[in-house]
């Protein structure tokens, strides 16, 4: 249903697409590209290296966490370049790779870049995982100051 007050509809000229490089993100990317093209929007593509989840209960001998964090961030930057080339081709997008808690970093980007629409894939996490860890998509949906489009997995 369209909003009753047309003046309340904002220009969708600054969009954020979040990716974890999963199949679900690959399925959601065409929607972000389509919306960005239709609205002639500046598109930000973001990946958050979630160090807390990646290193939970994990010990790497002879390597400091700072070095490991940096290597993970550099690897994510390479994956981001490939992901954007594959899914956004000639469309100009700004790539953001950061380290931290995904929900917090996404909310920081929304505020810091004045994002007025977020496109993201639904989590591939099952019900039990969502119960214990929460869903980043769910948290962004509930707290973002702008519309959030969540694309379900393709295999539904």
Check which CATH number belongs to the domain holding 89 and give it. 3.40.50.620
Report phi then psi at 150, rounded to 5.
Answer: -110, 120
In a domain, 93, yes or no: yes
In a domain, 31, yes or no: yes
Q: Which two structure tokens, joined as six digits, stand for 97? A: 């790779």
At residue 128, the pLDDT reads 45
Element (H, E) at 117: strand 117-121
In a domain, 7, yes or no: no
In a domain, 3, yes or no: no
In a domain, 132, yes or no: yes
In a domain, 2, yes or no: no
In 3D space, the residue among 68, 65, 26 whose CA is nearest the CA of residue 47 turns out to be 26
If one counts the domains in the chain, the total is 1
In a domain, 18, yes or no: yes
In this predicted model, what pLDDT tens digit does every residue of 98-148 receive, in sequence order?
999 999 999 999 999 999 999 999 865 555 444 444 588 889 999 999 999
The domain of 140 spans 14-151
Report phi then psi at 32, rounded to 5.
Answer: -60, -45
In a domain, 52, yes or no: yes
């Amino acid at each position: 249903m369209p909003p009753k007050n047309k003046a309340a509809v904002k220009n969708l000229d600054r969009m954020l697409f979040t990716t974890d490089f999963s199949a679900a993100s690959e399925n959601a990317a065409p929607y972000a590209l389509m919306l960005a093209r239709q609205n002639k929007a500046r598109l930000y593509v973001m990946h958050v290296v979630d160090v807390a989840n990646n290193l939970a209960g994990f010990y790497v001998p002879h390597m400091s966490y700072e070095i490991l964090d940096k290597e993970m961030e550099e690897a994510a930057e390479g994956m981001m370049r490939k992901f954007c080339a594959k899914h956004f081709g000639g469309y100009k997008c700004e790539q953001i790779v950061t380290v931290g808690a995904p929900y917090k970093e996404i909310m920081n980007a929304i505020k810091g870049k004045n994002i007025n629409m977020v496109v993201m894939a639904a989590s591939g996490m099952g019900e039990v995982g969502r119960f214990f860890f929460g869903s980043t998509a769910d948290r962004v949906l509930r707290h973002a100051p702008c519309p959030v489009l969540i694309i379900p997995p393709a295999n539904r």
